[in-house]
Amino acid sequence: MKRGLRNGTVNFEDEMTPKERWLAVLRRRKLDRVPMDYWATDEVTSRLMAHLKCRSKRELFQRLHIDAVITVGPKYVGPPIPKDSDIFGCRYVDIKYGRGESSGVYRECVYHPLAKYSSVGEIKRNYSWPTVDLYDYSVIPEQIAGYEDYPIRGGGSEPFLTYKNLRGQAQAYIDLIKNPDIVHYCLDKLFNFCYENTRLIYKAAPRMIMLSYVAEDFGSQTGLLYSPDHIREFFIPRMKRMIDLAHHHGAYAFFHSDGAIREIIPDMIEAGIDILNPIQWRCRGMEREGLKRDFGDKVVFHGGMDNQYTLAFGTEEDVRSEVRDNIRILGRGGGYILAPCHNIQTVTPLRNILAMYDEGYKAGWSALRT
């Protein structure tokens, strides 16, 4: 593989494909450069594509050298669902925020179908859980067609997010202490749905799914949102079942949890996660040097680009400096995929996004040889 500099720009000959690059990181093998992933709101993606005159996301990824994950899933074929609802009966409203180019829309849950029940018995008598029979899995291979050179993500789980919508966020947290039987019952139902959905995705595209996300947001800016005992009781055993399913089918477990979660990282590694995301290093206890020192040989780091401050409000040089720091710290000896800590928000200047990927492409190979 030949490399050189021409007019200040890095040139690669015989580069790896995005899929090969991800696999090399996950298998701790030699690769050409640090991979780069992409997370952003729809509004940001539309602005970025218009700015670069890209006609498709694929063209955007190629233009910015992004090794993006392609997500696939089944097609809903069940009874019609109101536009403001989901398959669980939760209802949402669109909330507009910002002005001009910084404006956007997000959905907020305003109706919680299980909020009025106070026992497992009431839920059993009055609520019907959706099943995977509502979906057609035969469409998945055609979603992969044309993206065989990219990492493919399918299936996974984040059931407590759904549980909070079903019960209401405040009540969901109270339930962990006051109504653990309701939490266990509902999480079993939700995890079983996720498990069967994921299994059928693997079956529809044998050995083609590289990643499954196993997510729950455990952290705030300063610490865990739940006690470690609650995480170990309600979440980890069920998440391990999802992780084991991924490994059984040759896929990797991509664990996402925002916030300050250092205390629970050893438990998640023991459960079998392969990738840790998003590395919000400004949160308490999430300093990059310590994470790399203590866990760098056990898990691949994904993320690290701060989008609360640096990407949104920093200068271009702030962004480039953070890229170099992430590659130097998290990428030392391999085991790192550069990406924003979460979806890039509409307040983020396009110049900062372009600077992140430009610097990541230029500097992304050198750390692997130092």
User: What are phi and psi for residue 253, nearest 5 degrees?
Assistant: -95, 115
Which residues share a beta bridge with 336? 301
Model confidence over 300-346: pLDDT tens digits? 999 999 999 999 999 999 999 999 999 999 999 999 999 999 999 99
Q: Model's pTM, two decimal places?
A: 0.94
- So what's the pLDDT on residue 195? 98
- Spell out the long-range contacts of 47-50 with Cβ–Cβ below 8 A and sequence spacing 24 or more: 47/101, 47/346, 47/350, 48/350, 48/353
Q: Answer whether 360's CB lies under 8 Å from 327's CB.
A: yes
- So what's the pLDDT on residue 29? 95
Rounded distance between C-alpha atoms, residue 312 and residue 29, angstroms: 34
Q: Answer whether 202's CB lies under 8 Å from 247's CB.
A: no
Rounded distance between C-alpha atoms, residue 71 and residue 198, angstroms: 12
CA torsion sign for 41, 42, 47, 50 is positive
Rounded distance between C-alpha atoms, residue 319 and residue 339, angstroms: 12
In three state form, how does the secondary structure of the chain look?
A: CCEEEECCEEEECCCCCHHHHHHHHHCCCCCCCCCECCCECHHHHHHHHHHHCCCCHHHHHHHCCCCCCEEECCEECCCCCCCCECCCCCEEEEEEECCHHHCEEEEEEEECCCCCCCCHHHHHHHCCCCCHHHEECCCHHHHHCCCCCCCEEEEEECHHHHHHHHHCHHHHHHHHHHCHHHHHHHHHHHHHHHHHHHHHHHHHCCCCCCEEEEECCCECCCCECCCHHHHHHHHHHHHHHHHHHHHHCCCEEEEECCCCCHHHHHHHHHHCCCEEECCCCCCCCCCHHHHHHHHCCCCEEEEEECCCCHHHHCCHHHHHHHHHHHHHHCCCCCCEEEEECCCECCCCCHHHHHHHHHHHHHHCCHHHHC
Model confidence over 160-207: pLDDT tens digits? 999 999 999 999 999 999 999 999 999 999 999 999 999 999 999 999
Cβ neighbour number for residue 96 with a 10 Å cutoff: 9
- So what's the pLDDT on residue 234? 98
Whether residue 51 is predicted with pLDDT greater than 60 in this model: the reply is: yes
Spatial CA neighbour of 305 closest among 358, 240, 268: 358
Whether residue 2 is predicted with pLDDT greater than 60 in this model: the reply is: no
- So what's the pLDDT on residue 368? 54
Structure tokens at 358: 């430009």
Rounded distance between C-alpha atoms, residue 361 and residue 365, angstroms: 8
User: What are phi and psi for residue 165, nearest 5 degrees?
Assistant: -75, -35
- Poorest-pLDDT segment among 5-14, 50-59, 283-292: 5-14
Rounded distance between C-alpha atoms, residue 131 and residue 120, angstroms: 19
Q: Answer whether 213's CB lies under 8 Å from 156's CB.
A: yes
Residue with tokens 């890095």: 10
Model confidence over 264-282: pLDDT tens digits? 999 999 999 999 999 999 9
Model confidence over 220-267: pLDDT tens digits? 999 999 999 999 999 999 999 999 999 999 999 999 999 999 999 999
- Poorest-pLDDT segment among 77-81, 100-104, 118-122, 153-157: 100-104
Rounded distance between C-alpha atoms, residue 329 and residue 319, angstroms: 15
The confidence band for 13, taking pLDDT boundaries of 50, 70 and 90, is very low
- So what's the pLDDT on residue 364? 85
**Residue ranges of the domains in the chain?**
18-72+134-369
The confidence band for 365, taking pLDDT boundaries of 50, 70 and 90, is confident
Whether residue 1 is predicted with pLDDT greater than 70 in this model: the reply is: no
Residue with tokens 């190629």: 62
- So what's the pLDDT on residue 335? 97
Rounded distance between C-alpha atoms, residue 197 and residue 131, angstroms: 9
Structure tokens at 4: 């050189």
Structure tokens at 88: 């669980």
- So what's the pLDDT on residue 101? 86
CA-atom Rg of the chain in angstroms:
21
Model confidence over 18-44: pLDDT tens digits? 999 999 999 999 999 999 999 999 999
Whether residue 10 is predicted with pLDDT greater than 50 in this model: the reply is: no
The CATH number of the structural domain formed by 18-72+134-369 is: 3.20.20.210
Rounded distance between C-alpha atoms, residue 29 and residue 32, angstroms: 10
- So what's the pLDDT on residue 14? 59
- So what's the pLDDT on residue 366? 58
